[in-house]
């Protein structure tokens, strides 16, 4: 039941099967050394980020971002924005790879929770009175999972 085969990378080779007493042509098996395989690992994180920025209607801050060329793939989960401000409204922009972006306004002393898929970025703009001394405060909580490829 022994096979004599001249093996070469990814090309056909001539194999002689002694137990059948005839010559067969078979493809050589692929070796794992010749193929680059990516290892995938599911990562789950809970991230709580404090928000403290001027309520000036112009400054947008990025609180979460995934670069398109990173090893992080398909971050999905829940996002909660808590606005503790007394007079500032938080304008949230959540970008994802499906439908571009969603814009949500979170009123003062309130919160918002959403289930999101394929998050690319979360940006916050504080809107309200024109007094530059007024700050927008609160927090952003991310409970997400993503695939890490390496």
pTM of the model: 0.68
Q: How far separated are the first and last CA of the chain, in Å rounded?
A: 40
13 confidence band (pLDDT: 50, 70, 90): very low
Residue labelled with tokens 């010749």 = 34
Residues 11 and 66 in one domain: no
Q: Look at residue 59 and tell me whether its pLDDT is greater than 50.
A: yes
Residues 8 and 68 in one domain: no
Per the structure, the count of domains in the chain is: 2
Residues above pLDDT 70, as percent of the chain: 73
Residues 6 and 45 in one domain: no
Q: Look at residue 16 and tell me whether its pLDDT is greater than 50.
A: no
Rounded Cα gap, residues 102 and 66, in angstroms? 16
Rounded Cα gap, residues 20 and 29, in angstroms? 20
Residues 93 and 142 in one domain: yes
């Amino acid at each position: 039941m022994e096979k004599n085969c001249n093996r070469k990378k990814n090309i056909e080779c001539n194999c002689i099967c002694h137990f059948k007493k005839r010559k067969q042509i078979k493809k050589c098996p692929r070796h794992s050394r010749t193929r680059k395989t990516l290892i995938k690992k599911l990562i789950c994180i809970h991230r709580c980020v404090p928000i403290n920025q001027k309520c000036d209607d112009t400054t947008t801050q990025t609180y979460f971002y995934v670069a398109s060329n990173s090893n992080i793939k398909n971050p999905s989960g829940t996002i909660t924005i808590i606005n503790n401000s007394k007079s500032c409204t938080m304008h949230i922009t959540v970008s994802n790879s499906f439908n571009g972006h969603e814009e949500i306004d979170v009123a003062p002393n309130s919160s918002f929770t959403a289930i999101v898929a394929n998050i690319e970025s979360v940006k916050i703009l504080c809107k309200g009175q024109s007094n530059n001394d007024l700050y927008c405060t609160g927090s952003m909580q991310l409970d997400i999972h993503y695939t890490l490829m390496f």
